[in-house]
Structure 1
């Protein structure tokens, strides 16, 4: 059921009267200022992405390091902190500053509260749909993975939540780590007749046949809009290939142009790409593929307060990215007249749980699906004296905790932890629960490893990941952030060429010997041979936390950066 503005304010008042936490500054005027988005045009799309299975409101700190190199230097999404506030016109200390930056995060988190949560998101979706006849809700992927309950239910909790939220169209990435059969089961049975799962760039490995529909045509208020799906192109590289052995991925730029042309020939008056490429890839793609009006992007978790317009041979394409963890909902209104888009408006809305009352139906569902796991999830393991977070090009304090735990428990000299972007934040003084640990580690290939590596091999690993992150051609950026490193220190020059970015590697102050063998701990191995190679990483971290009881402020092991002075991606 859609929720009118009058009904919304009635619910807001009733929630406040019942003691629902609306935040110290919550009032109808503030809610209207944030969430009253006037309708425009005749095609209406709502967009969320990268929620990483977070059904409840969370704390999530944005990065202080998001470096842009080459043409991306100083350009969105590689602008953080004060520079991002200036670019977007937000004031320091405001709700918007809290939503989009890491500035004063602890203070702002305590003032403005948690963000996201499907019950609060559902209220916002209903409010926006009430004034937008026929509006569609698009999900950019990374929805089924990132929490304990998603892992333990084989993503069923998120599948049912997406249907209840009213998702119409979806593409994917981490979804595929549940394996081909589970993905097909969900798409063919759970989603049948409800949600279009689209991916023009996934084909069968044997004959190159499409695995999913490449696009869907939707009729809305006298206009025909095509939604094209673009799944994460590097899934078999960033994640285990054995989980999707029968499928091929890739950007498939030429094929995408053909799909767009086919959609136009089939009557599409507007074309929107629902993408999980990452924003840098989308920006390049927009300059080379014609006929796409808007790219609604995901994967890199960039909450973009303003979209980027990219010119190409056919005109121009608007490129956006809608953040992560349920923090944001994008609102795209298109005016389609005489067979084409004549105007558009886009706004990204932060989802403040303290301002939006919980939708009763969604809240009831969440409570029911979490009930069997509630006691296990809530078990306190230790108390954190400092802020714990994951996000940033090189390290986060929760990543550092995982590194320290691996080195202590596994008896390693050096530790590597993947540069994952998902994972919630924990405020100082909070208990670290089992759920917090799973928020950082809940994957289908969680095994911890302990291997012997030469100094030469360690450098090769670091160089390879650095090239994934800092290659000036976005099409060669194939994963997340830089691998997190424990024990080892090093210098990084992002502007150097491949194989020359990493230098001055040291262990305990002594230079790493290329020929010497070192004991290295890690987790999340992508090779099939590494299955069950060691205990799941959450067992390692839980054991360490229980032994610590109180976790001191983590000292981040960050590389010394060269050539990044004045980079807009450094807060």
Structure 2
């Protein structure tokens, strides 16, 4: 090639590169006060705030990078760290987060507590449809319910919304301001996207806080959203393009187990390409020494506090891992263990609970109450319903239809085969005293079905099927009866037995 032609090619290449841009984005979500490294996916040492801070702080220093929080930084009741220190970590993300979504747990300690936290963070908290008692948006910046962030000459539109379930999940006393309400999710989303497009943003990003199914609906019904970060549903989903749309989706699980990394390349022709991955916050990742020292001192203070000390006392030994693997798609060891206890304690034929009730595996070895509460973090009370066989079949079919989400059900006292999206060959335990007394489901028979107050009264789809059926509130707390079982039967174990195939 002649020298002159080579120089022309070099100039053209440099010209193209000068008009192309690469932007990186990171998100962690549903941290829920998991300050210490924890057991997940069969290994110790995942997560921990010192590790998360160290990783994100390094990324935040790059001019081509944005860092987000997906919401739910705290969790009333579990872990104990949350009740002791509330949202002490949120200011630790100052100069790291560019924005955070408001999650349904973030104001659980009441408006005054939330307002105090909000004053101490320097990054915006977003929630476009969170309204005060007068209907005015609570989270508004420069007259807008979203952010426009300029990075490498590109305008990035960032927004968040409270999911449609917030009204039932977030009690009036646990909202960010007195009298807060939640506006319509889809209507507000449409307004925000229209406003962003009118402003001429180059990329539209949703950072939370809504269930997986609702974000899929968001992408399919409202054009123009380039990227959705998955939050709220605690799902581990690598980067994928949502079918039938031009929207990408990525969800980094829970508690800081993973960070989502997304790279957006803007070509000189204006076209965008999006890639990404989930980065494990495992034992190979370094900790921020300053944060690690803070956590060590605070944890000692927590365990020394008489109010919380009992949570760190032994309740039993676990022989083999009580794994939450596959809890959203089929039978799981942890699900079998807990659901069998619920069914036996309540005296029901069948027991079922949404998989969202199971948040972590329990490691083999010595177990303290806090370990159990981390696996089953919610206060669920057992209700026993009188259910006709034909309705029980509908309930199981609804569960199967929710496979891959937190609304799939773990079960006991029933077994079935999933075929063509339905529960088939359903058998129910007929004799409460005989574990092997299974008989084919009788559509006309009445069965005693134990479930949680959440599933019976609030869970989408299920609440309609249970509505109007006679039930008994047993007053039994799932956490407490499982704790009692472990104390009385240590060492405990469980296994897969083919109840869901």
TM-score normalised per structure 2: 0.75
Q: Deviations over 1:254-299 (max 9, x none)?
A: 5423212212334533321113445565455434433333222224
Aligned residue for 1:357, secondary structure, equals: coil
1:157-556 alignment to 2 at 5 Å?
A: 157=86, 159-165=87-93, 166-175=96-105, 182=109, 184-185=111-112, 187-192=114-119, 194-202=122-130, 210-213=137-140, 214-236=145-167, 239=169, 247-248=181-182, 251-252=185-186, 254-266=187-199, 268-279=201-212, 281-283=214-216, 285-308=218-241, 316-334=246-264, 345-352=275-282, 354-374=283-303, 375-390=309-324, 391-420=327-356, 423-428=359-364, 430-443=365-378, 445-467=379-401, 469=402, 480-496=406-422, 501=423, 504-507=426-429, 508-525=437-454, 527=457, 534-556=475-497
Larger radius of gyration: 2
Aligned residue for 1:534, secondary structure, equals: strand
Q: Which residue of 2 aligns with 1:143?
A: 73
Return 272-281 or 543-552, whichever deviates more.
Answer: 272-281
- The question of whether the paired residues in 1 share the 8 Å contact of 2:130 and 2:137 is answered with yes
Q: Which residue of 2 aligns with 1:51?
A: 31
Equivalent of 2:52, from 121, 124, 131? Answer: 121
1:531 to 1:328, Cα distance in 2 relative to 1, 3 A: farther
1:137 to 1:418, Cα distance in 2 relative to 1, 3 A: same
1:400 to 1:309, Cα distance in 2 relative to 1, 3 A: closer
TM-score normalised per structure 1: 0.67
- The question of whether the paired residues in 1 share the 8 Å contact of 2:332 and 2:496 is answered with no
**How many pairs were matched up?**
445
Going by fraction, where is strand more abundant, 1 or 2?
2
Following TM superposition, by how much is the alpha carbon of 1:543 offset from its aligned partner in structure 2, in angstroms?
A: 0.6
Q: Deviations over 1:227-274 (max 9, x none)?
A: 11133333456x47877896346540x542321221233453332111
Following TM superposition, by how much is the alpha carbon of 1:56 offset from its aligned partner in structure 2, in angstroms?
A: 2.0
1:123 to 1:219, Cα distance in 2 relative to 1, 3 A: same
Aligned residue for 1:47, secondary structure, equals: strand
Return 508-517 or 378-387, whichever deviates more.
Answer: 508-517
1:558 to 1:347, Cα distance in 2 relative to 1, 3 A: same
- The question of whether the paired residues in 1 share the 8 Å contact of 2:103 and 2:162 is answered with yes
Following TM superposition, by how much is the alpha carbon of 1:542 offset from its aligned partner in structure 2, in angstroms?
A: 0.8
Following TM superposition, by how much is the alpha carbon of 1:337 offset from its aligned partner in structure 2, in angstroms?
A: 8.7
State the alpha-carbon separation in 1 of the partners of residues 408 and 147 from structure 2.
36
Following TM superposition, by how much is the alpha carbon of 1:558 offset from its aligned partner in structure 2, in angstroms?
A: 3.0
Following TM superposition, by how much is the alpha carbon of 1:540 offset from its aligned partner in structure 2, in angstroms?
A: 1.0
State the alpha-carbon separation in 2 of the partners of residues 235 and 466 from structure 1.
24
Aligned residue for 2:292, secondary structure, equals: helix
State the alpha-carbon separation in 1 of the partners of residues 204 and 448 from structure 2.
52
State the alpha-carbon separation in 1 of the partners of residues 302 and 99 from structure 2.
29
1:290 to 1:301, Cα distance in 2 relative to 1, 3 A: same
1:209 to 1:556, Cα distance in 2 relative to 1, 3 A: farther
Following TM superposition, by how much is the alpha carbon of 1:356 offset from its aligned partner in structure 2, in angstroms?
A: 1.8
Following TM superposition, by how much is the alpha carbon of 1:224 offset from its aligned partner in structure 2, in angstroms?
A: 3.2
State the alpha-carbon separation in 2 of the partners of residues 272 and 44 from structure 1.
12
Aligned residue for 2:195, secondary structure, equals: helix
Q: Which residue of 1 aligns with 2:434?
A: none
Structure 2: stretches of 5+ with no match in the other structure: 1-19, 304-308, 430-436, 459-466
Aligned residue for 2:68, secondary structure, equals: strand
State the alpha-carbon separation in 1 of the partners of residues 274 and 387 from structure 2.
54
1:462 to 1:292, Cα distance in 2 relative to 1, 3 A: same
Q: Deviations over 1:126-166 (max 9, x none)?
A: 22234x13743211234323872358618x54x22232134
State the alpha-carbon separation in 1 of the partners of residues 310 and 343 from structure 2.
26
1:427 to 1:503, Cα distance in 2 relative to 1, 3 A: same
- The question of whether the paired residues in 1 share the 8 Å contact of 2:76 and 2:83 is answered with no
Following TM superposition, by how much is the alpha carbon of 1:58 offset from its aligned partner in structure 2, in angstroms?
A: 2.3
State the alpha-carbon separation in 2 of the partners of residues 189 and 217 from structure 1.
26
Following TM superposition, by how much is the alpha carbon of 1:350 offset from its aligned partner in structure 2, in angstroms?
A: 1.4
Q: Deviations over 1:410-445 (max 9, x none)?
A: 4443322222175222333x22221121012222x4
1:333 to 1:268, Cα distance in 2 relative to 1, 3 A: same
State the alpha-carbon separation in 2 of the partners of residues 412 and 533 from structure 1.
11
State the alpha-carbon separation in 2 of the partners of residues 480 and 255 from structure 1.
25
1:408 to 1:542, Cα distance in 2 relative to 1, 3 A: same
Aligned residue for 1:59, secondary structure, equals: strand
Aligned residue for 2:34, secondary structure, equals: coil
Aligned residue for 1:189, secondary structure, equals: helix
